[in-house]
């Protein structure tokens, strides 16, 4: 199995009441799976569970290695946790007033 890295441009759904102050975000998702197609569908399902609507796919699924993941601390954490839990990610959002937020805590993605 490979680890895939995917980036989505997302907005909160109406059900995402806890995200009412967020206008949008970039979702960086790491999925361990056998194919890029499966990884993409799994990532879409996870984002839906977390009340995010996909606006666009900014980075289609690409295989990422541990060497590539070590280029950033958060990338390495996500890679390692995806190896353990099969899916992990983090969000960088912006508020309705246009301010860019800090990366949201890394979250375990699960349906």
Select the more confidently predicted residue: 2 or 89: 2
Using an 8 Å Cβ cutoff, are 106 and 85 in contact? no
Out of 25-34, 46-55, 80-89, 95-104, least confident range: 95-104
Report how far residue 55's alpha carbon sits from residue 52's, in angstroms, rounded to the nearest whole number. Answer: 9
pLDDT digits 0-9 by tens, 61-108: 999 999 998 888 888 888 999 999 999 988 888 877 766 555 554 444
70 is written with which tokens?
A: 């070590």
Q: How many CA atoms lie less than 13 Å away from 4 in the CB half-sphere?
A: 20
């Amino acid at each position: 199995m490979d680890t895939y890295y995917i980036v989505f441009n997302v907005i909160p759904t109406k059900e995402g009441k806890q995200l009412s102050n967020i206008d949008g975000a970039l979702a960086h998702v790491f999925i361990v799976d056998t194919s890029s197609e499966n990884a993409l569908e799994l990532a879409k399902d996870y984002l839906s569970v977390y009340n995010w609507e996909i606006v666009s796919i900014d980075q289609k699924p690409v295989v990422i290695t541990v060497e590539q993941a070590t280029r950033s601390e958060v990338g390495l954490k996500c890679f390692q946790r995806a190896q353990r839990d099969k899916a992990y990610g983090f969000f960088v959002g912006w508020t309705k007033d246009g301010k860019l937020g800090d990366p949201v805590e890394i979250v375990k993605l699960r349906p």
